[in-house]
Amino acid sequence: MAHHFEFKQIGVIRTPYTDSAPYQPVVNDEGEFRIVLQREYAQGLADLETFRYIYVLYFVDRLTRTTVMIEHPAWTPDTNVGLFASRSPVRPNPLGLSVVQLKKIVGKSIFTSGLDVFDNTPLLDIKPYIKDLDSKNDANYGWIEKLAGNKQHLLLHIMGIPHGY
């Protein structure tokens, strides 16, 4: 039997994106990116500023379609790929995960590099991204290897960055 769980919102993510966002974080995108914790959790930010990168976990709260097990990623819509081999936000549990640069912490606000979420997305958790523990030197591109085009070009598509070629 499948269990159901409840999560608490611990803060909110503020971004310049009202109703469309990049497919993945764009490091130097324009505007302010800020994670604001609820006051009761602010003390938990102690020592986080010693890290350069953080994981941000959030609830993807404004989905407009239902989950399917075979996805057609928005950046390569002619491709069929299993949901769990994709980064689609439309999942049985709509949890989002982004790795971003931590710029500074002021009070209960964390200022970061670009985040790929709509303004006011509910925050579920933050964790430090730890060198060597979290970066894998032998990571690969999975099924993306089979797509035509060079990696730099594909990465622009994956992130949803407009480009002229």
Ligand X SMILES: C[S@@+](CC[C@H](N)C(=O)[O-])C[C@H]1O[C@@H](n2cnc3c(N)ncnc32)[C@H](O)[C@@H]1O
Residue among 130, 128, 121, 129 nearest 10 (CA): 121
Tell me which residue has tokens 């609830």. Answer: 59
Binding residues among 119-158 for ligand X as defined by CB under 6 A: 121
Of positions 14, 98, 114, 123, contacts ligand X by CB under 6 A: 98
Of positions 12, 23, 55, 103, contacts ligand X by CB under 6 A: 23
Where does this chain touch ligand X (CB under 6 A) — which range of 16-24, 32-40, 125-133, 140-148?
16-24
Phi, psi values for residue 81, rounded to 5°: -150, 145
Of positions 11, 14, 21, 126, contacts ligand X by CB under 6 A: 21
* Shortest distance, position 24 Cβ to ligand X, whole Å: 5
Residue 60 sits in the site that holds ligand X (CB under 6 A): yes
For 61-72, give the secondary structure using H, E and C: CCCCCCCCCEEC
